[in-house]
Amino acid sequence: MAMHGTFARTGPFTRRLLLAACLMLCACTNKLTQETADTGPEPIEPNATISAAPAFDPLLRGSATWLVQSQGAESLRVDIESSDGTIVISSEHEIPEDGVVSGSWDGRDTSGEYAGTGSFTIVATLSNDLGESVAVATHALEVVRAGFLTSYLEDDDGTTATRTPLYWHEIGELQDVTAPMSELQSLEDEEGNAQDFPEITEALDIPELGMGQPAAFVWDSRPILTLVPGNTSLLGDLNLENTTVDLQVDGWTVISEDVPLDGETPVVLQPDEALSNGPGVYDTKLLLSFVVESESGTEWEVGSQVLPIRIYMLYDEPSFQENGERYNPWVAVVDPVLRAIDGVDPTHDAVTNAIVNHVFDDLGLRYDINYGASYYMNYAGSGWNRPHFYLSQFLKRQYGYTVNCSDCAVILAAFCNMVGAELNHLIILSNFGLNEILAIGQPDFTSCPFGSGGCGFSYHAVTTDDAGQTIWDATLALDGDDNPGASPSEVLMVEAIDGQEYLDRLVRSGNAGYYYESQGTLQ
């Protein structure tokens, strides 16, 4: 009635349209009813399809997952058969209503031992309710072993990457940049587990045996990573000849010849872009993924291996004027320094300013307000132009945390030159009274850092890169307000300050000038 009433209220065109639709629907329904009546329910031909990876590495991936989609059967038996037809392992399954059964194989036989590498077949056999076999599906599965034993980080003489050897000061040894960054003796450990590459050593003074080594590159480098594959395994032959296994690393591209992993040919990769935006520490664990492609084009991960990497991203190559192995970045210096300045803009002044802050704030140093004497350096021979820094002793804080200006100048210069920001030692002479200063590690501004009767410097050591036109000083902060000679005082860190302004703010009385720009030596 309601439908009829609605029909009556529609216009003549709409009524004709609805009528036509109704007639068509009736005709279709009639045809379907006739066909069903003629043939009855179509019997379902028992069938099954198997979805699984074409290959897997039981030690890297743990197990290969398979999925059987079936119709027209009551139960399913899955066998893993070796290439000679031997059944390695079997499993029985009731087929649920949706016909989907899944499982996995860990590469082991019924006794729990690895079946080894080679060509295997997943055989899915469907049975009816009488237990009779009604259909069989198969899927080829290669069991492979993949992995690398040795990794190298190299440069290409500055075209896309510049590497600098690191210096292990405790043994006085310069890193061999052609030596492996990390390496394994075998693909598996003594328990038969697949091995990732070792962690990077946390020691900063001497390389640890069996650990990975850090590397140092100029910050905008794209380091070249070479990986040498292992060629033997506890599982036997690697079985890489029957399938195409490729290496994929997120953010890196394989630049060596496009040869699938074969257990012999090294694979060379390079990051798609610089690893950082400036100086700092690139600390990561690269996931080396071994990938195979099925006939349908689907990519499957065979397994993966982890490669820890630590790269000290320098501002530039070391800027020491002295030659010798020790005038390279010391691990014990660049590790904490680059972590402290991580994220700084890649400019000389920004890097140097950040290192001034690091020395002034982070190292726990305090000015020797009793004598203004140096603990970790002396001027060699009898000249200001030959500062000699006992850096090894400083790193141990062998004489404690008390320092003077010469110490701070050599510390700052050494740190900066190691990360590639050139800085030189500079002497201010002589005998001048002080405005308000905040000496390193001291709580308050004062113009008499040595107490009454000690209101001046006989000399002062700072750093520069341009003969005193620009000054950096980690010994003290200046009073940055309009009256640097009186309280209150405003902290002005000495970071790229004009040389004349520095003297104007530092010196209350007497004559002071810059002399003896030099870099000196260290040990």
Partner 1 sequence: MNPNLRRRPGALSAPLQDMILICALISAVLIAGFSLAGCEPAEQSGAIAPDAATALAAQSASQNENIDVGADEQTRVETPAPAPAPAVAEEKLWAGLPLKEMSRLGLKDLALNDYENEWRAGIESGGLVRVHTYATVTEAKEAFRFHAVASSSIWSDRPTTRALPGEEATGDGEGLLVLRDRNLVIYVQSPGGTAHDTAGRILNALVDTYPSDVYQERKVGDDIIRWDSVGRRTVVATP
Q: Which residues bind partner 1 (CB under 8 A)?
A: 172, 322-324, 370-375, 378-386, 388, 390, 392-393, 398-400, 402, 404-406, 426, 429-433, 450, 453-461, 467-469, 498-504, 507, 511-517, 521, 523
CA 157 to CA 165: how far, in whole Å?
13
For residue 328, the minimal CB distance to partner 1 (Å) is: 12
Cis upstream peptide for 443 (omega within 30°): no
Q: Which is nearer to partner 1, 298 or 370 (CB)?
A: 370
For partner 1, the closer of residues 212 and 372 by Cβ is 372
Structure tokens at 111: 């006794």
When the beta carbons of 148 and 390 are compared against partner 1, the nearer one is 390
Instruction: Report, in Å, the least distance between residue 479 CB and partner 1.
Output: 17
Instruction: Provide the minimum distance between the beta carbon of 291 and partner 1 in the complex, in angstroms, as a whole number.
Output: 49
CA of residue 145 relative to chain centroid, distance: 25
Query: Which among 221, 196, 213, 199 is positioned nearest to 287, based on CA atoms?
Result: 196
Cα radius of gyration (the chain): 37
Q: Give the shortest CB-330-to-partner 1 separation in angstroms.
A: 15
Cis omega before residue 430 (within 30°)? yes
Minimum Å gap between C-beta 493 and partner 1 is 18
Judged by CB, which is closer to partner 1: 263, or 329? 329
Residue 455 Cβ vs partner 1, minimum distance, rounded to whole Å? 8
CB 302 within 8 A of CB 292: yes
Residues 6+ apart with CB under 8 A from 21: none
Please provide residue 193's backbone torsions phi and psi, each rounded to the nearest 5 degrees.
-90, 145
Q: How many residues make up the chain in this entry?
A: 523
A 10 A CB-CB count for 510 gives: 12
In the bound complex, what is the minimum distance in angstroms from residue 389's beta carbon to partner 1?
11
Tokens representing 476?
A: 């003290």
* Cβ atoms 74, 130 nearer than 8 A: no
Q: Which is nearer to partner 1, 123 or 462 (CB)?
A: 462
Main-chain phi, psi angles of 256, to 5 degrees: -75, 170
Pick 315 or 445: Cβ nearer partner 1: 445
Nearer to partner 1, 252 or 502 (CB): 502
Question: Do 127 and 73 touch, CB atoms closer than 8 A?
Answer: yes
